[in-house]
């Protein structure tokens, strides 16, 4: 293979690395002393990056299959690019205030780079490196707000527990190495035998990814970190890292563990049921909005796992489709709560009572997003969830399906609780009219339209289906 072609395969990563270098350079100059100018430049870069993602992309693998790329992977990267752009836009105010713009973006981008590497890894080693590269900056991001107690607590909780989970994962990997002897994906997928050693190895390994996408019982860090970390960082956790994690998990399960499908189906079914139920039950009693979102995201992951259990192409399509919608909805929620807490410092659900009276637009967009998460038509979330569960039911067990049905109701309750606070409850404390800057409005507009438009986007789903895995 020609070297330049392999470089072309690395295009996404290349752009990210380039941007990081640019940021370093800018850091040397005092360009970042005027935040607004700096941020506009960065957002412009991110936008270009997002657009560039749609340039035609060769498929194939480089470096003896350590690195591979395909249509699906390219699409996933595009999705993540979109997410990072939206997040950076919605975090505008906070970043501008906190005098850490450059660090923030460097960490953000390097974490994103790690995710990209994970996505297109063809070898466990690369996968591991990507994992670390993505999670270490995330810890730093969580602790970025150094003069807040909660932020540093979030940081330490994340770094320590991720270190632990990395240890467990690595242990699994080492055992896998012992069982298979070669850690490249295709050899594993060929030689993996369902014997005690490799099964144990697989579970240990799985737990690492489960930790990343915060599946019950590996989810405990989630709520605390979301609450403590700066909102836009939590947004990154909830949307980008989780989305990428889901993609990677899918890759691992579908390509790596091909031989032991029925076994991981069993495992994933258990985890799915647990995640949905526990997530919803915890979300039931949350008053802090970010914690609520954490648990709701856990429940959503449960639904995604149900979709994954289909173990078919349709499952992949549905999961990606859902993740896109999930991304849009969550970005909306986080950016609104960020704008509000940025202005008034309020993050509690009880503070949002009567929001419709004070901030009609925010509450309407949030309602759309919440309904989309709850899977209520005519929002796109309905379709996402419907397809997920449909594909899941193709292979899923009846018990799992029953639990899913119950959880649909539970989750509806959770989200309606918030909507009720907006529209029905009488506000306790007067909430001023929060005027989001144009970036936030742009994000909200984009996401809101996206959520509504994807309702009729049969084409997108079909397009995903045409891409090969």
Partner 1 sequence: MSILTLLIICPLLTSVLLLLPKSDKGTKSIALIGSIIQIALTGYITFLYQAIRSAGDKSQMLFESNIVWFSTLHINFHTGVDGISLVMMLLTGFVVLAGVLVSWNIKNQVKEFFFFIMLLSTGAFGFFMSLDLFMLFFFLEIAVVPKYMLIGIWGSGKKENNAMKLALMLMAGSAMVFLGIVGIYFASGYFGPHNTWDILELSKIHLPAEIQRVIYVLTFVGFGVFTAMFPFHTWAPDGHSSAPTAASMFLAGISMKLGGYGCLRVATYLMPTAAKELSWIFIILASIAIVYGAFATLMQKDLKYMNAYSSVSHCGFVVLGIAMLTKTAFAGAVMQMVSHGLMTALFFAAIGMIYDRTHTRMSDQLGGMLKQLPFIGTAFIIAGLCSLGLPGFSGFVSEMTIFTGSWEKAGLFYRVATILACASIVITAVYILRAVGKAIWGTVTNKTYLMLTDATWSERAATILLVVGIVIIGVAPFLFIRLIEPDVQYIINRIIL
Partner 2 sequence: MNSDIYILLILLLPLLSFLFIGLSGRKLSTGMAVSVGCLTLITTLIFSIAVAFDYFFVKGSVGGVYAPQIVARFEWLRFSPGMSIDLGLIVDPISVMMLLVITCISTMVNIFSIGYMKGEERLKSYYAYLSLFTFSMLGLVLSINIFQMYIFWELVGISSFLLIGFFFNKPSAIAAAKKAFIVTRFADFGFLIGILILGTGAKTFDFLTLIDRLTHPGVALDSLTGSGFLGMSCLTWALILVFMGGAGKSAMFPLHIWLPDAMEGPTPVSALIHAATMVVAGVFLVARLFPIYSISAPEVLQGIAYIGSFTALFSALIACAQTDIKKVLAYSTISQIGFMMFALGVAGWGEGHDEGFTASMFHLFTHAFFKALLFLCAGSVIHAVHSNEMKDMGGLRKSMPITHITFLLACLAIAGIPPFSGFFSKEAILSAAAHGNPPVFYVGLFTSALTSFYMFRLYFSIFWSKPVDAHAHNHEKGQWAMNIPLILLAIGAVLAGLIPFGKYVSATGKAIELPIHVMFSVLPVCLGLGGILVAAFMYKKQNEIPQKVTKLLGNFYEAAYKKFFIDEIYLFLTHKVIFNLIGRPAAWFDRNVVDGMIQRTGSTSVNTSNAIKNLQSGKLQGYTMYFLGGVIVLVVLILIKFL
Partner 3 sequence: MEQVPLAHMLILSTILFFIGIYGFFTRRNMITMLMSTELILNSVNINFVAFNRYLYPHQLEGIFFTLFIIAVAASEVSLAVAIIINIYRKFKTIDIEETDTMKY
Residue 412 C-beta: closest distance to partner 1, Å: 5
Instruction: Indicate which of partner 3, partner 1, partner 2, none lies near residue 103 (CB less than 5 to 8 Å, by partner kind).
Output: none
Instruction: Indicate which of partner 1, partner 2, partner 3, none lies near residue 132 (CB less than 5 to 8 Å, by partner kind).
Output: partner 3
The residue ranges that bind partner 1 (CB under 8 A) are 314, 317, 371, 376-378, 382-383, 386-387, 389-390, 393-394, 401, 405-406, 408-409, 412-413, 416, 419-420, 423-424, 456, 458, 461-462, 465
Residue 170 C-beta: closest distance to partner 3, Å: 4
Interface with partner 2, residue 223, by CB under 8 A: yes
Residue 3 C-beta: closest distance to partner 1, Å: 38
Site for partner 2 in 399-438 (CB under 8 A): 410
Residue 420 C-beta: closest distance to partner 1, Å: 6
String marking each residue 146-185 x if it binds partner 2 according to CB under 8 A? ----------xx--xx--xx--x-----------------
Which three-class secondary structure string do you get for the chain? CCHHHHHHHCHHHHHHHHHHHHHHHHHHCCHHHCHHHHHHHHHHHHHHHHHHCCCCCCCEEECCCCEEECHHHHHHHHHHHHHHHHHHHHCHHHHHHCCCHHHHHHHHHHHHHHHHHHHCECEHHHHHHHHHHHHHHHHHHHCCCCCCHHHHHHHHHHHHHHHHHHHHHHHHHHHHHHHHCCCEHHHHHHHCCCCHHHHHHHHHHHHHHHHHCCCCCCCCHHHHHHHHCCHHHHHHHHHHHHHHHHHHHHHHHHHHCHHHHHHHHHHHHHHHHHHHHHHHHHHCCCCEHHHHHHHHHHHHHHHHHHHHCCCCHHHHHHHHHHHHHHHHHHHHHHHHHHHHHHHHCCCECHHHCCHHHHCHHHHHHHHHHHHHHHCCCCCHHHHHHHHHHHHHHHHCCHHHHHHHHHHHHHHHHHHHHHHHHHHCCCCCCCCCCCCCCHHHHHHHHHHHHHHHHHHHCHHHHHHHHHCCC
Interface with partner 2, residue 285, by CB under 8 A: yes
Instruction: Indicate which of partner 2, partner 1, partner 3, none lies near residue 200 (CB less than 5 to 8 Å, by partner kind).
Output: partner 2
Comparison of 143 and 332: residue with beta carbon closer to partner 1: 332
Residue 202 C-beta: closest distance to partner 2, Å: 8
Comparison of 193 and 312: residue with beta carbon closer to partner 1: 312
Size of the site for partner 2 (CB under 8 A): 35
Residue 387 C-beta: closest distance to partner 1, Å: 7
Residues of this chain that interact with partner 2 (CB under 8 A) are 156-157, 160-161, 164-165, 168, 194-196, 199-200, 203-204, 206-207, 211, 216-218, 220-221, 223-224, 262-263, 266-267, 270, 278, 281-282, 284-285, 410
């Amino acid at each position: 293979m020609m070297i330049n072609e392999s470089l072309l395969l690395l295009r996404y990563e290349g752009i990210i690395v380039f941007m990081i270098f640019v940021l370093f350079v800018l850091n040397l100059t005092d360009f970042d002393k005027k935040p607004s100018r700096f941020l506009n430049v960065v957002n412009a870069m991110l936008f270009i990056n997002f657009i560039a993602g749609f340039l035609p992309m060769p498929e194939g693998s480089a470096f003896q299959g350590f690195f591979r790329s395909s249509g699906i992977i390219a699409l996933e990267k595009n999705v993540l690019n979109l997410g990072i752009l939206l997040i950076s836009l919605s975090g505008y105010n906070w970043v501008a205030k906190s005098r850490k713009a450059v660090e923030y973006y460097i960490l953000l981008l390097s974490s994103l780079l790690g995710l990209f590497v994970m996505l297109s890894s063809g070898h466990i080693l690369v996968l591991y490196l990507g994992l670390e590269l993505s999670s270490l900056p995330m810890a730093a991001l969580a602790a970025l707000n150094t003069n807040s107690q909660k932020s540093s607590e979030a940081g330490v909780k994340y770094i320590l527990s991720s270190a632990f989970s990395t240890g467990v994962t690595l242990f699994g990997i080492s055992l896998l190495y012992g069982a298979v002897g070669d850690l490249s994906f295709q050899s594993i997928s060929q030689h993996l035998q369902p014997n005690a050693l490799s099964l144990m190895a697989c579970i240990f390994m799985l737990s690492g990814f489960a930790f990343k996408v915060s599946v019950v019982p590996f989810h405990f860090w989630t709520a605390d970190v979301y609450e403590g970390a700066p909102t836009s960082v939590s947004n990154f956790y909830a949307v980008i890292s989780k989305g990428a994690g889901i993609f990677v998990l899918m890759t691992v399960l579908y390509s790596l563990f091909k031989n032991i499908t029925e076994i991981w189906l069993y495992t994933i079914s258990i985890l799915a049921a647990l995640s949905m139920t526990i997530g919803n039950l915890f979300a039931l009693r949350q008053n802090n909005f970010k914690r609520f979102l954490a648990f709701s995201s856990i429940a959503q992951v449960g639904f995604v796992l149900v979709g994954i259990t289909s173990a078919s192409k349709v499952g992949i399509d549905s999961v990606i489709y859902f993740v896109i919608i999930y991304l849009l909805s969550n970005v909306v929620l986080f950016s609104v709560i960020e704008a509000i807490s940025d202005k008034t410092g309020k993050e509690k659900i009880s503070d949002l009572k009567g929001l419709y009276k004070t901030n009609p637009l925010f509450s309407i967009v949030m309602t759309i997003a919440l309904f989309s998460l709850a899977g209520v038509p005519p929002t796109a979330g309905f379709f996402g969830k419907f397809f997920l569960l449909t594909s899941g039911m193709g292979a899923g067990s009846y018990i799992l399906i029953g639990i899913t049905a119950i959880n649909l109701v539970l989750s509806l309750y959770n989200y309606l609780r918030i909507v009720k606070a907006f529209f029905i409850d009488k506000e306790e404390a007067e909430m001023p009219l929060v005027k989001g800057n144009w970036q936030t409005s742009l994000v909200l507009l984009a996401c809101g339209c996206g959520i509504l438009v994807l309702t009729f986007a049969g084409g997108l789903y079909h397009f995903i289906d045409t891409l090969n895995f």
